[in-house]
Chain A
């Protein structure tokens, strides 16, 4: 930074500073003339929008911290004092409360953009993984922030979520007590959550810096998923995208403001206006809406995972890995000399694959029977040879963290050379189904975990994992390779021509004979 060639500025003050510390040169290089693909759509606004929300959250959050008291005796009433007696306290608190929701909305759309247009692919893998890290940090921050008002949902949400760690074998109970700083969620817990809720956003800012840095090394992806090949493909960031981002940001802020001023409690839970009471458990403990999808995955694992299921799953994973994942290897028998154990003279391991597939189906079938219908006589008999390996509670915790872990390693699962779903007809359907799946999970996460809702949650969880572990590897190998346009520039011209043709056809259809 700053050691390269520098063009002098005309303004003397700016030049004086810049020749000593070239911040103006850097700003101009990274946000002024920075070459940016010229075909962004409005989905590309959401990085900037998330950044603005982050700033709003930090400013309102610091102001709230000046009035809030992290003590179980007075935390609840200190928040009410902010709402009633602090100048504009109601405004700052409602902005912060709804700001969390809208920051998640921005981030979810931002992540969807990355998924749909393949922004996570080479060379942007690290950029993507830093992004998933930001999501994790945000989730931790939001969870601890929700505890601070010390309402009923604060307390019981904290109790449920921290208790999850007790599912870990051996170290679990110790970890939970360590998190609590005692033997229950209490004053020590509230205090440390406040300290961490104040700290983590600044850690997040650090990771955001790395995220943006990585972005400015690789440059942005774009709706076509084709890398810019020259100046005809790009435009300077300013004024084109500064102005487009501002326009999109304002529309987003308008929706945010409608919630903040006219329905500030619509996204919250009424129980959080009741002070925490360890002796009264709410009828349904639910997290904030942005966690509901992950909460649904957690609760979907209602069954113990047994030995047969793990064995069947391992064989299935082997088959997926060798057959679908490494598509560069053209031969059907990818594990060549080293692992091809000759069973007899002419049977190699790969020829056993149909048999292995049958094995996997049988093992998963019997294992599933034991897990889902433990009361059947056959299950009880089979249960003897298939002990429980992972209890339901631990299974749920692993699934919940696994759902984010899969996002983290996504760049290494999806190996199809095309990025954008616009040139991947099958992927497009699969990824849009994933979005629908996420909404179903969010919806079912708010429902009580009983009856049909459990089945819906399990089906939706199954698709979520299948998307990453089965569908993407399958597409790696079998999705047709559509021919890509030679450049972004050409792609934009093609699209314009297509649009014009459509318009002309429409006009012609309106006035018959006008074309002649």
Chain B
């Protein structure tokens, strides 16, 4: 009976989150710096990933849940964060005279969106809405593995697949048709730290950056988790010994 319950539990844990994914290929598992119980983000990769987002993705994709101050997590100094924020313009107000005015963004401002609203975003993109990327790494099955696979998964469409104008073929997209053209190409973004300027390196870096954006407390979480588990294991050991001692007069 015990074996049965263990088998059943295992079965359930394996099957419960297994949702159908259409006819897309399953993204291969990547080896991330943040994988595993002791994983942390690679600051270099985060900064490069941010650079890719800023120079490529942010032309269409917003990240409304992030503020410029959050970039301090990537290892930027306070002045660097201020400088990044200053590159953007936000509307503030009303001022003393009741007028709205424009000013350079501050670290406390949210990331400035590329379009004023969803309608404008759709209008500029053939009716396809470029989704907000703040949580994308948690809002897709396989998370960062999927993002990496998608960004590197563009290919020539097989002959039997009819593509309309504005449609592109991608091995990992549900239904294999995606409105976004391949956003990355070799040498597109100039890295300053000497990392390879290839599509796969860009994809890897931006996936890690998006994982950080979706789960900024991952390092805290894992480090706290290790301590909590060590404490509970020790406590559990003590309680097993206590239980054995107390029950010794009953056996």
Taking a contact as CB atoms under 8 Å apart, the answer to whether A243 and B15 are in contact is: no
Q: Is the CB of B221 within 8 A of A261?
A: yes
Check A146 for interface membership: any CB of B closer than 8 A: no
Nearest Cβ on chain A to B89's Cβ, whole angstroms: 23
With a cutoff of 8 Å between Cβ atoms, the chain B residues found around residue A63 in the complex are: none
Q: Is B250 in contact with A235, judged by CB distance below 8 angstroms? A: yes
Partner of B8, one of A240, A271, A436: A436
- Is the C-beta of A502 less than 8 angstroms from some C-beta in chain B? no
A284 touches B19 (CB 8 A): yes
Contact of A266 among B11, B17, B20, B247 (CB under 8 A): B17
Best-buried of B15, B140, B174, B235 by chain A (most CB within 10 Å): B15
Interface flags, B219-232, vs A, CB<8A=1, else 0: 01110111011001
Contact B19 A243 (CB under 8 A): no
Q: How many A-B residue pairs have CB under 8 A?
A: 118
Determine whether A94 belongs to the interface, using a CB cutoff of 8 Å to chain B: yes
Residues of A contacting B11 in the complex (Cβ-Cβ under 8 angstroms): 439, 443
Asked whether, in the complex, the Cβ of B135 is within 8 Å of the Cβ of A254, the reply is: no
- Residue B217 interfacial (CB < 8 Å): yes
Closest to B134 in A: A80
Q: Decide: A274 near B135, CB < 8 A? Known: A84-B217, A250-B236.
A: yes
Contact with A along B231-243 (1 / 0, CB 8 A): 0110110011011
| Docked-complex contact A77 and B65, CB < 8 angstroms | yes
Chain A hits for B239, CB < 8 A: 243, 246-247, 250
Q: Give Cα A268–Cα B138 distance, bound, in whole angstroms.
A: 10
**Per-residue contact bits, chain A 240-273, to B (CB 8 Å; 1 contact, 0 not):** 1001101100110110011011101111111101
B20 in contact with A447 (CB, 8 Å): yes
Complex Cα gap A292–B235 (Å): 35
User: Binary interface profile of B, 161-175, with partner A (CB < 8 Å = 1, else 0)?
Assistant: 000000000000010
Nearest residue (CB) in A for B241 is: A247
Indicate if A167 sits at the interface (CB-CB under 8 A). no
- Is B246 positioned at the interface, with any CB of A under 8 Å from its CB? yes
Query: In whole angstroms, what is the CA distance A257 to B131 when docked?
Result: 33
Which parts of B182-239 form the interface with A (CB within 8 Å)? 214, 216-217, 220-222, 224-226, 228-229, 232-233, 235-236, 239
Indicate if A402 sits at the interface (CB-CB under 8 A).
no
Q: Decide yes or no whether B4 CB sits under 8 A from chain A.
A: yes
- Which residues on B sit within 8 Å (CB–CB) of A258? 225, 229
Choose one: A270, A435, A443; the contact of B138 (CB below 8 Å).
Answer: A270
A254 to B22 CA separation, bound complex (whole angstroms): 36
A-chain residues with CB within 8 Å of residue B17 when the two chains form the complex: 266-269, 289
Q: Closest residue to A288 on the B side, CB-wise?
A: B16
Q: Is A448 an interface residue (CB 8 A)?
A: yes
CA separation between A168 and B225, bound complex, in Å?
48
Interface residues of B (CB under 8 A from A): 1, 4-5, 8, 11-12, 15-20, 22, 37, 65, 70, 131, 134-135, 138-141, 143, 174, 214, 216-217, 220-222, 224-226, 228-229, 232-233, 235-236, 239-240, 242-243, 246-247, 250
- A269 CA / B228 CA spacing, docked (Å): 26
Are B216 and A260 in touch, CB under 8 angstroms? no
Contact B220 A90 (CB under 8 A): yes
- B13 to A: closest C-beta gap in Å: 8
Give the interface size bracket for A toward B: 35 or more
The distance from the CB of B35 to the nearest CB of chain A, in whole angstroms, is: 11
Q: How far is the CA of A165 from the CA of B225 in the complex (A)?
A: 42
| A239 to B232 Cα, complex, angstroms | 21
CB proximity of A33 to chain B, nearest CB, Å: 15
Q: Is the beta-carbon distance between B65 and A435 smaller than 8 angstroms?
A: no
A418 lies within 8 A of chain B by Cβ: no
**Is B236 a contact of A91 with CB atoms below 8 Å?**
no
18 contacts between A and B (CB under 8 A): A38-B250, A90-B221, A239-B246, A243-B239, A243-B243, A243-B246, A250-B236, A260-B225, A261-B224, A262-B225, A265-B138, A270-B138, A270-B139, A284-B20, A286-B19, A292-B16, A435-B8, A443-B12
Task: Name the residue on A nearest B214 (C-beta).
Answer: A273
Given the known interface contacts A283-B22, A439-B11, the answer about A84 and B65 at a Cβ–Cβ threshold of 8 Å is yes
1/0 per residue, CB under 8 A from B, across A442-456: the answer is 110011100000000
Q: Say whether B243 contacts A442, CB under 8 Å.
A: no
How far apart sit A189 and B235, CA to CA, in the bound complex (Å)?
Answer: 44
Task: For the complex, give the distance between the alpha carbons of A253 and B243 in Å.
Answer: 17
Say if the beta carbon of A160 comes within 8 Å of chain B. no
The CA of A240 and the CA of B245, in the complex, are separated in Å by 10
Q: Chain B nearest CB: distance from A222 CB in Å? A: 14
For A266, list chain B residues within 8 Å (CB). Answer: 17
| CB <8 Å contact, B140 and A270 | yes
Shortest C-beta distance, A62 to chain B (Å), equals 21
Alpha-carbon separation in the docked complex, A447 to B70 (Å): 39
Q: How far is the CB of A293 from chain B (nearest CB, A)?
A: 10
Cβ-based interface call for A126 (8 A): no
For A90, what are the chain B residues with a Cβ–Cβ distance below 8 Å?
Answer: 217, 220-221
A289 adjacent to B16 (CB under 8 Å): yes
Question: Who on chain A is nearest to B217 by CB?
Answer: A90
Tell me which of A84, A94, A112, A253 has the highest count of chain B C-beta atoms within 10 A of its own C-beta: A84
